Structure formats: structure tokens, C-alpha cells
A and B are shown apart, each in its own frame.
Chain A
Amino acid sequence: MELRLDPDLETFRTQVRAFIDRVLPADMKERQRRKVANNAAVPDLLQWMRILDDHGRAVPHWPEEFGGCGWSPMQLFIFNEELYKADAPEFDWGGTHMLGPVLYTYGSDYLKDKFLPMIREGATMWAQGFSEPGSGSDLASLRTSADLVDGKYIVNGQKIWTSGAAHADWGFFLVRTDKSVKPQRGISFLIIKMDTPGITVRQIPQINGEAHLCEVFLDNVEVPADQLIGEPGMGWTYAKFLLEHERTTSSFIYWSKRELARAKDIARGETMDGRRVADDPAFRARFARAEADLLALEWSVLRVLAHEEFDAPEAAAASVLKIRGSELQQEITMLQVDAMGAKSLRFFDAAPVPPPAPTDVWPDYAPGRTTVALINRAATIYGGSKQIQKNILAKLAFGL
């Protein structure tokens, strides 16, 4: 057991920092740092992918033959951590981290040749069509159907909570291709172009003023049969692969580390009768608890990345990351909000980028914290609610 960080990795971190410093445009960084909503403006996101791709860094986690960097899990961890710390736009996770690995693992040569470069180059935004109005945590009950007719799938149904669907060029969908078998066996993984006739997208107004989440209605949508990934009926397996492949992503560790640092700035910046919020004992105790919990989460991520030997299934360790990661996102954003007291109640519109110029009363950390905190209640709901995660964990760890 050797728990100190390999000194070579510190050299790597220095190189990564210098790289980001060199290629991340200052205006993009500034827009990203001051954005009110959680989601980056689409043009910035795609341009950033193109910049990364120019330097061979757009999909470092992919196999090298498809454009990956051949880095170790620890190097990837450091690269991501530094990207977030530098306020770089996020990846288009749907393409780079969800669809990509499914495609290069199970997709036909045709699909790999067509879509992997598009994802890598930042040519397209991707939508993920999994959840349905009647299928949330019970995803296997999904009903959107795809029937093979004359070499085409005819798709009918409705998806919901499809992030960014209004701006997406393409989507990857779970659809039912066989109603005669048990629910998990009849699901397939289908790529659909979002401007195909029969698709209607409705943006859903959210409690934080954004409308990022969408409903997608599919009415006799014709999809070429060769856009089905792998084998028909294997979609559930691929979706599970996708979640297991991204075992540590759900921890949101990089995001939470950056936002905790921001909470620290807010607690130092806000005062009460001349005393910093940071010096209030109750606030400080809560903050210390959150930071300690985040350190624990970070080590739990490292344990999964290093495949620590463990007397419960590895999936149990991944499940811990999802549960604690989502709880900590919520706690950290609420620390930001609570540090501002009643000032946090001012509504800031997500639309103008950048937001109004900062003043002494409304420093540039003010707009956006509550906007994000409000929608962050979703963290313990999406991707399998916290309660479902606990059911799974009890089964994995204790056989209950």
C-alpha cells in the first residue's frame, strides 16, 4: 500500500495546467466563470471541443485508435480536475462520455466511422433519450417503440428530461423493438437525427428560470436501420455498460471541488457587522464538514479508479460515489447560497451572458449560485434516484 501521489503525476499536472492556460481563450473562460446557469453556451462548448481536438485532447479517455491519449486513470483524473479548476467549458458529456464508449465498443464500422469523429471534433451536440413520462427510476418499463418496416425503424413515443434536446443535432435513444420478451430484453439503442420529420421538442420551463430539460415527441419517425447500435434487444446491456464505464463520473468530484472553493470565496467576501461569514462558528462547522466529506469522496473515487481490492462488489463502491456525490453537490451549492443570506434570493436571468457587471453589493460570485442550487435538487433524482441507489447498494453490499 503506497498512498502518496506519484511525483511524475505532479509533473503531468504542471504540463496540463500550462496547456490549458495556453489554449483556453480568455473571453471563453470569463463567460464560463460568470455564467448564471449550469450549462455553457452551446457555441463555446463546441468551439472548446474543436480547440481540444486540434491538440489531440478532445477525448483523452477513448482508445488511442479513436483519438484517445493513452493516459492512466490518474492522468485522466488530473486532466479533468484541471479543466474544471480553470473554468473551461464542460465536455458535451452525452457524446464524449456516454455515446462514444458504447459506439466504439459495440457499434458497426459504419457507425464508428460516421459518428466518432463528429463527437471528437465538436461538430454536433447530442441528446440522451432514455427517460419517459412513465419510466423514471423504472427505466426498463419504457414504451417508446421502434418497429422495423422495409429496412427502416418507425419510432413512436415520448421521451422526457432530455437535456439540451432543443439545441441537439443528434440523439441516442433507448427504444422498444420487441414487446414479446421480458422488458429488459426488448430494448435497443438507436441513433436518431433530431431534425427528422415527426420529432417535436418542447423545452420545459424549470424552477430556476432555465429551459434546458426537454420533452421529445416522436410521431412515426423514420430511422435508417443501420443506426441501431450493435444487436437489437441489447440496448439495456449497452446502457448498463455505459453507466459502469463511467463509474466515477457520477461523483461530480471535479465540479464539487471547484464549487466548494467558490463557496469559500463567498464566505470570505460576505460580512455581518464587519465579521466574515467564514468566521461564524456554525457556518464554519458546516463548511468543515462538507470539505471533509468531499475529501472522503475524492479518495473513494481514487479507490475505484485504482480498482482497490474490496470485499464487496466494485459496483457497490461506484454506487457510493453516486449517492454521496449528489448529496455533496447539493450541500455545496446550499453553502454558497446560505453564505449570501437573503441576498441569495435575488433572481438572475440565465439568458444574458455575461450577467450584469459586478458591484460591491453584488460581486461576480452572486449571480448564478441560487440558479444552480435550485436545479441541483435534481442531482439526487436523475440517473436513478437516491432511494433506488440505496436499494441497489443494500443488495450489492449485503445481499438484501
Chain B
Amino acid sequence: MDFAKSDIQAMLLDSADRLLSENADVEYWRHQRGGALGFDEARWARFAELGWLALPVPEAAGGLDGSIEDIALLNIALGKALATEPYVSTVVLADHVLKQAADQLRAMELLGDIAGGTLRIALAHQENGAHPLGVEARGTVARASGDGYVLSGAKIMALDAPSAGQFIISARIEGEEGTGLFLVPADAAGLSIEPYALIDGTRAADLAFADVALPAGALLVGGNRGAAVLREAIDRASIALMAQAVGAMEAANKVCGAYVQERKQFGTAIGSFQAIQHIMADNFIAAHQARSMLYHALANADQDEATRSAALSAARLVIGEAGQVVSRNGIQVHGGYGLTDEYAIGHYFRRLMCIEKQYGDLIQHGERFGDSIFG
């Protein structure tokens, strides 16, 4: 066991520091939020140049073959800077599904496009009323038709969908068991997209499929393996999001630590009051324990599914709660300014709330972890 960063990890963090730190402020965030996609495509191209989009891509496809630890460390940096780029959707989630695809030749091509920054892929799996931790598709059906399929149904809250060129869609294949994973272009006939912003400035969309015709090659992963592959991909996305949460918490703590030393009331810095000091101590503890749990999830990332998902849910439980403690307390020590869009803490608060609820929230992960303990 070694917590020291490898040379590659140190380089990664160094490049992240240089690219992200100049644009980690309220002005930048507000500007991006007002744009068409919620992030800067020029910076996405920089991500590609720096190799970040090739991080989990196999060397055979021109990638860096990075580990889940590498991905986590980069995502800590993205979280610190409140980066709104669709990194987790495209580079963590879609990459993992593509690596498991039946047609590896085609998959490597797509991974190459992702690495080059020319293709973004979003997952559309969640359906209205479905359990957020479920990996079965219920209301989306693919019917065999000629050489291909016809897709019908609807998805909600597809994260980062408005900027994606392709979607990975989970669907029940008529007459078969399980869930298949299909690749569907964003401009497919019969596909309608309702894009919207989330409270943190990132984007999502609801998708509706009205008999969308797909070629046979659109089926990336068949019904026999689809649910398992989706579970793995979502678990990896969860780890990356937790890393972003840890980065966001640590950054929020720095912001609050500085604020309570600047802000004066009764003629003295509010950080001199014990009540404020104890809040800040609680925030430090929460962020520290959150990072510890990220390590726990990482250490178990390659274990069998039961062990992995138990560790992941335990981590989501601690990190989800810690994110709320840190950012709610952070707003409290800022007083009224914490509620304005002009102070950073409110941006951290909204981002941490989004992460807490994506791919299963505190309650659902608590239940899943509890079930793993008592059966």
C-alpha cells in the first residue's frame, strides 16, 4: 500500500493544475453556464491534447491505459475546479462500455475518436419511476426488424446528453432476457431530445424513441452481458464522481477557511469565534473521511461484484453526506453571501448536491450497503 503518486500521476496532476487553476472561479463558471453546452469546447480540445481523453483507452487504440487511480486523481482536480466538461460520461462511462463491446474493431475506432476529442458519448439509461440503482431497462424496447432493430421508449436525466454525438441506450430486446446496450447517433430519425440545465450548470436531456431504426451493429453489448457491463460502467462513473466530490469539498474548505479569516464582525475575524472554528473542524473531518472512503472504493474497484458494490455504496454514503456537511456549513459561515451566485461556495454546494444524487443517492446507497451487511 502506497499513497505516493507515480510519475505519470504527478505529471497528470501538474498538467491539471496548470490548465484548470486559471479558470476555477465564479466568473468562469457563470460564463460557461450561459453558453450553449455549459462548457468550453476549446478547453475540451485541450483535454484531448493533454491526453486526458485517452487516459483509460487501451494502448492498442492509442491510449494511455491508465488505472482507475489515475482517473480518480484527475477527477479530484476536475472537482476542485468545478469543471463542467462531460468527462465522466464520455471518458469513464462510455469508454468502459466500448471496451466490453462485441465488435472490438469498431469500438477501438470510437475510442480513438473520443481520445481525439471529436466524439462525445452519453449514457441514457434512467427511466422515470425506475430505481436509480437498477440496471435493467423496462420501458425501452428494441424489436428485431430485418437485419437490425427498431427502438421505442423514453429515457430521462441523461447526463451530458446535449453535447453528445452518440448515445449508449439500455433497452430490453424483445423475445430475449436481459438488457442490451445500443449505440444510437444523436441525429437518428425518430429520436427527440429535450435538453435542460441542471442546478450546477451541467446539462442533461430527456430522450424519446419513436420507432428509431438501428442497424445490427448498433448493439454494442448483448442482453446476456448488458446489465453486468452497465453496472461496472456506472460503478466506475461513481468512483470518478466521488473523486470530483472530494476535490470540490477540499476546495470549498479552502474557500471557507479564507473567508472566515477575512470576514469581520464585532470588530474581529469571525474565524476567531469558537462556534465558527468548530464548524470548520467538522468540515475538515468530513472532507478527510471522504477522501479516505474514496481510497476504500478504489482499493476494491477490481474485486468481485458483491465486494465492489458494497465498498462503493459505503463510500457513496460517507462522501455524499460529507459533501452536504461541507457545503451547507460552508454557506452558513458565509452568511447571506453564501446564497448569492457571486460567491464560490454556492457553486460548490450545487455541484456537490448534483453528485450526491447521480447514480443513486444517499438513501439508496445506504440501503444497498445495509443489505450487503445483513443480507
Contact = CB atoms under 8 A, between A and B. Distances in A.
B266 interface: no
Q: 7 tightest A-B contacts by CB?
A: A299-B292, A394-B277, A390-B281, A288-B370, A398-B257, A308-B3, A292-B314
Interface in A1-58: 1-6
A203 interface: no
A80 B370 CA distance: 27
Contacts of B373: 264, 284, 287-288, 291
Contact of A394 (B2, B280, B290, B371): B280
14 contacts: A2-B2, A2-B69, A6-B1, A288-B366, A289-B366, A291-B369, A292-B317, A295-B296, A297-B289, A299-B296, A317-B288, A393-B281, A394-B284, A400-B277
B318 interface: yes
A92 to B, nearest CB: 30
B76 to A, nearest CB: 11
A216 B277 CA distance: 35
B275 to A, nearest CB: 10
Interface string B1-28: 1111110010000000000000000000
A263 to B, nearest CB: 11
Contacts of B296: 295-296, 298-299
B2 A306 contact: yes
B213 to A, nearest CB: 45
Interface residues of B, number: 47
Given A299-B295, A303-B292, A394 B317 contact: no
B350 to A, nearest CB: 23
Nearest to B250: A311
Contacts of A116: none
B366 A316 contact: no
Interface in B325-375: 363, 366-367, 369-371, 373-374
Given A3-B69, A291-B373, A295-B314, A320 B2 contact: no
Given A5-B299, A300-B292, A316-B288, 9 more contacts: A288-B370, A289-B366, A295-B296, A296-B290, A309-B3, A317-B288, A320-B284, A390-B281, A400-B257
Contacts of A394: 271, 277-278, 280-281, 284
A324 B289 contact: yes
A390 B278 contact: yes
A374 interface: no
Counting chain A CB atoms within 10 Å of each CB, the highest count among B253, B277, B282, B292 belongs to B292
B104 interface: no
Given A291-B373, A302-B1, A390 B277 contact: yes
Contacts of A281: 367
B272 interface: yes
Contact of B370 (A276, A285, A312): A285
A285 B366 contact: yes
Contacts of B281: 323, 389-391, 393-394, 397
Interface string A358-400: 0000000000000000000000000000010111011101111
B260 interface: yes
A267 interface: yes
B128 interface: no
Contact of A303 (B3, B9, B274, B369): B3
A268 interface: yes
Nearest to B293: A296
A278 B373 CA distance: 9
A387 B284 contact: no
Nearest to A300: B292
Counting chain A CB atoms within 10 Å of each CB, the highest count among B298, B369, B370 belongs to B370
B45 interface: no
B307 interface: no
Interface in A187-209: none
Contacts of B64: none
Contact of B292 (A5, A296, A389): A296
B285 interface: yes
B312 to A, nearest CB: 11
B224 interface: no
Nearest to B5: A1
B158 interface: no
A74 interface: yes
B73 interface: yes
A244 interface: no
B261 interface: yes
